[in-house]
Structure 1
Amino acid sequence: GSKDKSETLTANDCRLAVHLQAQPVALQPFLSDPMAKGQGLLARCLIHKPASTIGTRIMTLEEWQTDGITVEVKSFAMRVKALLG
């Protein structure tokens, strides 16, 4: 017969590192939740919110045509067009 397998794993003498990225609108409610603060989880998190770069990477049409349309971009565009056809 089949044996029941536990979904719990115990790993002794191990550490775990997790890198999690989230949008501020999704993360802010958790960061300001008193229950989350009281559990001690936030004290174990290194939270970093870099300055926004929105609007700093705008290219003119001329820049895009000379620098942006690479061989890889053209190849990708042709493949997508073929798949849609």
Structure 2
Amino acid sequence: FRSRTIRTRRNSAIVCAGVWILVLSGGISASLFSTTNVNNATTTCFEGFSKRVWKTYLSKITIFIEVVGFIIPLILNVSCSSV
């Protein structure tokens, strides 16, 4: 089986590192654009963005994080478990 030849420690380390880099890049970019607003003695985060900022940056980052952090691992788990 070809799948046995590509299942090596090196390849698994490369895939894990790639996933971590993608997830961290999404998280770091979201942190760079974050703001904190203090109103009426309450602190809120990520609520001070204008619609323009949300449409241009944050919606893309959110979709990226959802795809990389949930959908791709889900597909990989389902496909690997069914074999």
Does the alignment reach a TM-score above 0.5?
A: no
Task: Considering fraction of residues, name the structure with more strand.
Answer: 2
TM-score, normalised with respect to structure 2: 0.24
Larger radius of gyration: 1
The structure whose RCO (Cα within 8 Å, separation 6+) is larger is: 2
Structure 1 or 2: larger helix share?
A: 2
TM-score scaled by length of structure 1: 0.24
